Structure 1
Amino acid sequence: MTGRVVIVGYGMAGSRLASELRARDGDRKIVVLGAEPHRAYNRIMLSNLLAGKIDETQVELTEAAGHGVDIRPGVTVTAVDPVAATVTTDRNDTISYDHLVLATGSRAMVPPLPGLVPDPDRLPERVVAFRTLDDCRRILAAATGARTALVLGGGLLGLEAARGLASRGLDVRVVHPVGHLMNRQLDPAAGAVLARTLAGLGVISHLDAAATAVHVDADRVTLELAAGQILTADLLVLACGVRPETGLARSAGLTVERGIVVDDRLATSDPRIFAIGDCAQHEGQLTGLVAPAWAQARVLAGVLSGDRAGDRYRPQAPVTRLKAAGIDLAAMGDLGPVDGSEPAVEELSFTDPARGTYARLRIVRERLTGAIMLGDNPAVGTVIQLFDRGTPVPSDRRALLLGRAVGDRSGTPVESPALMPDAATVCQCNTVPKGALVRCWRAGARSVAEVVTATRATTGCGSCRDAVEGIVHWLSTADSAEVSG
């Protein structure tokens, strides 16, 4: 493919697409326009930055540098003209395109409460939405000298923020309007175990607690609750969900519902305009996770470059991970009400609140269709692989719940690297199978860093780091005859 591809958005989706296009043959010009004034960064790692475990350089993503790539951070696109095939920027530049990709992401939602304005960039001092790198910087600035914090929202993002602040020594309280934490991914029993675990880490949960108003004075924030309770703190973090950025698409006359509507090629209602990532709506669904965004970038790069023009995006059931100090959680699939007409449904669960452990599996016709794994359970990798691949579960179901074979007191994981098939996915975000790690090792990589550079494993949510390190250790000690997968 020749011509110019303009990518609007320099986040995790836009930067990955630029890298994918740059790696393919062809004479093309790639222009990337990012409203944020930073290099592309890993949004998933912001909670680690908030916790002080890493610095800003460690959240940066590798740029798609090289001939034919023009990256312009700090440039906002103000209009798209599909007839003229141009975009206009806030610097009064008009840029033509042969293909346009909208990777505009999403925006933090501000709840409609007295004391708050809808724009997350115009919130009162000591009130910050948690979404971007600049948000993270504002939270860290407000946390300097603070002793207490409130987090409004008990979903994944809110708990990441709460755990990060607690790691800095703040007393943190999470306010959530539903009866259990992470209600989109967890059942009430898992939510209760998670709340108890968080309490032991310095994060107290207020559940079934609807906020009604916010008051901010010189040095305190007050949150009023519907039940009449009043909570005060030095800092209030908003983690109330996100909304896809669709303004450019609407103004350009593209089909927009909750997100920008795309087909299997990621094309919008205009065949020269595409959308990927948080802003895209495929088959009525929004993604909001990095793995689907990167999968979309990979498919679209093949379509635009022409080297895999027949590729089509096929969504995979996502796996949600929360992995912070003291917490290890994986949730996947459907655990909603069961259709009574399905006779072959097995429900298994194990709870140990004192140890912060909860496991639940749903098996339908010998396939794992849903699971929650909370706490230290070495079977979590095996459970994720069974879910992703749709392979039959082992006959000893309890081995998955307990993380070891029944009667084995050694705590040996259900599956070691030597027993893992090459097709087993190790890094969910980047769809890296074990076989790719082995091939990388055979090609000359001799450290975790070299394997990561070659395969991109661990560069998404980072939760597969232990697994990648374990496989590299196994490769470094195994005889060549044993490294067969």
Structure 2
Amino acid sequence: MTAATDTPGTARVVIVGGGTAGHRLAQQLALHGEREVLLLAEEEHPPYNRVLLAEVLSGRYAPEVAALASLPPQVVRRRTRVVRVDREQRRVLCDDGSTVGYGALALATGSNPVLPPLRGLFDESRTGRERHELPCGVFAFRTMTDCADIDARLPRSRHAVVVGGGLLGVSAARALAARGIPVLLAHQGEYLMDRHIDSSAAELLRTHLMGQGVEVHTECRVRSVLTEGRRVTGVELADGFRLEADLLVLAVGVRPRSGLARAARLAVGQGVLVDDRLRTGDPHIHAVGDCAEHRGVVYGLAGPALEQADVLARVLSGKPAEYRGSRLLTRLTLNSATPLDIAAFGSTEPTGPEDRVVRLADAGRRSYRKVIVRRTGDGGERLVGGVLLGDLDTLGTLAHTWADDQDLVSHPLHLLTDIGTTTGGTSR
């Protein structure tokens, strides 16, 4: 059924995207209570915490545990896909034929998984949508639907390969191993999670994963997907070696979903370009979360998405607010009989002569802590970043010291020993 075209009114905020950023924005706007809010969500599942997907895949959590809090009753949520933005008429067109007018439009369209250019991944002999269908047994790992599809495939799988050793790839490999399937993790980089941690921490992470049943190969490039009748049977590496696999998970990164903005002739770089009030070049259109690029940065993490949503809710409610960027703390917990915590924040390597490294390490206890300390102009010192691995139950104090730019009042070793007992360490 085609709905009548709405007349755009200054009171209505339309949010495109029901993920972390869109859901939080709707919640915060409802708290301010001054504008009508309509959220248009494409995904079939109720809103969920994407950070918990690996826990769902491992079987540790049921899908409903990952669900986000329900939206307030004054927020209307519709499941539909927006296909076009009409800036002149201030309305969006949906795939069901309906049109929705807006006073303010917030794009929270998130990101899509990057599919690497592997030979055999797509069937070049087909046309249209069929040409871009993944072979049976090949999955991305980004959504709850991906998680459910992989779970349904597991009873028929004997060998799994995960391509990508970043946050998602490490999480996926650990989750699959927890389900009892042999897993090989292939990462093209020099060491695991090379965008977040250093080589020393990565070696401890590798040892942990191998102890949990994950075979880890770094500096390992997959070049082809092997299939029989569009069913995956393995992968071929750059050196010609072939690995058997009836389950292949691709986790090599994400790309902002900026197609709607680009088609509407909004400025797009890596993501949809926004200013400090999270506005695009059109004063009636904003962007938040994984699809937004602010001051040259696309964050792609839940923390910045929530911060942006909070700021935009204030902006759209007529309150003074600006977004000046986010300070990134990346944290990953690998749950098992011997759980492992990883955290990285700020600068993880020294950048100049005023920086020094303080490090504590104990391989026997799978503990590694490194912080970067910078001398300030008044002779003091501040914490500018670090990499931590091990038992991080009291990480908060260290994180607050960094996030608040507090001057260090004692030797940095005290910060490291405050987050757990470490022996046999060295510092420099």
TM-score (normalised: structure 1)? 0.79
Q: Select the residue among 202, 218, 234 that pairs with 1:222.
A: 234
Contact 1:220/1:235, CA 8 A, preserved across alignment: yes
Deviation track 1:112-153 (CA, whole Å, cap 9, x = no partner) reads 111113999721111100000100011111112423311100
Equivalent residue letter for 2:33: D
1:418 matched residue in structure 2: none
Q: CA, structure 1 residues 407+373, in 2 after alignment: closer, same or farther (shift >3 Å)?
A: closer
1:233-252 correspondence runs (5 A)? 233-252=245-264
Q: Select the residue among 44, 54, 57 that pairs with 1:50.
A: 57
Q: Select the residue among 380, 393, 416 that pairs with 2:395.
A: 380
Matched, 1:296 2:303: no
SS in 1 for 2:280: coil
1:439 matched residue in structure 2: none
1:429 matched residue in structure 2: none
Equivalent residue letter for 2:19: G
Equivalent residue letter for 1:329: I
Deviation track 1:335-369 (CA, whole Å, cap 9, x = no partner) reads 24522xxx432211222223221111110121111
Q: Select the residue among 94, 97, 116 that pairs with 1:92.
A: 97
Q: Which moved more, 1:395-404 or 1:351-360?
A: 395-404
| Unpaired segments ≥5 residues, structure 1 | 410-485
Q: Select the residue among 162, 166, 170 that pairs with 1:155.
A: 166
Contact 2:111/2:257, CA 8 A, preserved across alignment: yes
SS in 2 for 1:228: coil
Number of equivalenced pairs: 401
SS in 1 for 2:32: coil
2:122 matched residue in structure 1: 117
SS in 2 for 1:49: helix
Equivalent residue letter for 1:41: Y
2:378 matched residue in structure 1: none
Q: CA, structure 1 residues 132+407, in 2 after alignment: closer, same or farther (shift >3 Å)?
A: closer
1:359 matched residue in structure 2: 369
Question: Offset of 1:403 from its aligned partner?
Answer: 4.0
Matched, 1:25 2:33: yes
TM-score (normalised: structure 2)? 0.89
With a CA cutoff of 8 Å and minimum separation of 6, indicate the structure with the bigger relative contact order. Answer: 2
Name the % identity: 41
Matched, 1:82 2:97: no
Equivalent residue letter for 1:246: S
| Unpaired segments ≥5 residues, structure 2 | 1-8, 124-129, 376-380
Q: CA, structure 1 residues 97+378, in 2 after alignment: closer, same or farther (shift >3 Å)?
A: closer
Q: CA, structure 1 residues 157+404, in 2 after alignment: closer, same or farther (shift >3 Å)?
A: closer
Q: Select the residue among 178, 188, 196 that pairs with 1:177.
A: 188
2:76 matched residue in structure 1: 70
Contact 2:362/2:423, CA 8 A, preserved across alignment: no
Question: Offset of 1:40 from its aligned partner?
Answer: 1.0
Matched, 1:333 2:335: no
Q: CA, structure 1 residues 353+408, in 2 after alignment: closer, same or farther (shift >3 Å)?
A: closer
Contact 2:290/2:300, CA 8 A, preserved across alignment: yes
1:387-402 correspondence runs (5 A)? 387-402=402-417
For the residues of structure 1 that align with 2:309 and 2:363, how far apart are their CA atoms? 41
Q: Select the residue among 211, 214, 227 that pairs with 1:200.
A: 211
For the residues of structure 2 that align with 1:16 and 1:55, how far apart are their CA atoms? 22
SS in 2 for 1:63: coil
Equivalent residue letter for 1:188: S
